[in-house]
């Protein structure tokens, strides 16, 4: 993956995981009051989202590190193969040049296959991240609805 592609992938991931928040002022509860059910739910969901984001960021960082190590090992192997071929070229130059080109091609295809697999993993992580985000938002909505119903029941019982 080229540097520009990697940068674009991380920018896209950052925009997905950390959307811009609206400029509405945050309400702070009065010190004497306990937070409302909605505020508690929002804080719990925010806490879960922060943990999920942290884990996803850590996973991306680790997978990027593994990918770099893999590419470095391919480069080291290619460099070692090149040195070996140069030593032997004095006796069998033409034949060894063909073998060198073949090994470069094979390493190129192996690197390409690994790149495709890493893209598939990145796509899978993105899909799973979106799914988890939707599930968390749905859970928050359900909890809000339940809390609203309970508040309405309590208000109705207080009115009677």
One-letter-per-residue 3-state SS of the chain: CCHHHHHHHHHHHHHHHCCCCCCCCCCCCCCCCCCCHHHHHHHHHHHHHHHHHHHHHHHHHHHHHHHHHHHHHHHHHHHHHHHHHHHHHHHHHHHHHHHHHHHHHHHHHHHHHHHHHHHHHHHHHHHHHHHHHHHHHHHHHHHHHHHHHHHHHHHHHHHC
pLDDT band at residue 142 using 50, 70 and 90 as cut-offs = confident
Confidence (pLDDT) at 25: 54
pLDDT band at residue 149 using 50, 70 and 90 as cut-offs = confident
Confidence (pLDDT) at 33: 72
Confidence (pLDDT) at 23: 45
Each residue of 48-106: pLDDT tens digit?
899 999 998 898 888 888 888 888 888 888 888 888 877 766 667 777 678 888 888 88
- Residue 5 CA to residue 87 CA, distance in Å, equals 37
Confidence (pLDDT) at 27: 62
User: What is the pTM assigned to this prediction?
Assistant: 0.29
State both tokens at 28.
């702070």
Each residue of 1-35: pLDDT tens digit?
566 777 767 776 776 766 655 445 556 655 557 77
Give which of 25, 21, 10 is closest to 46, Cα–Cα.
21
């Amino acid at each position: 993956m080229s540097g520009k592609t990697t940068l674009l992938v991380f920018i896209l991931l950052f925009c997905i995981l950390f959307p811009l928040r609206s400029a509405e002022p945050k309400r702070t509860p009065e010190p004497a009051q306990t937070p409302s059910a909605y505020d508690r739910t929002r804080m719990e969901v925010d806490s879960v989202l922060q943990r999920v984001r942290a884990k996803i960021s850590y996973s991306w960082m680790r997978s990027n590190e593994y990918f770099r190590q893999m590419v470095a090992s391919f480069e080291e192997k290619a460099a070692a193969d090149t040195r070996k071929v140069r030593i032997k070229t004095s006796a069998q130059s033409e034949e060894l040049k063909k073998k060198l080109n073949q090994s470069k091609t094979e390493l190129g295809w192996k690197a390409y296959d690994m790149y495709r697999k890493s893209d598939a993993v990145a796509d899978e992580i993105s899909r799973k991240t979106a799914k988890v985000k939707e599930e968390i938002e749905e859970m928050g909505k359900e909890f809000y609805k339940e809390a609203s119903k309970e508040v309405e029941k309590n208000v109705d019982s207080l009115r009677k």
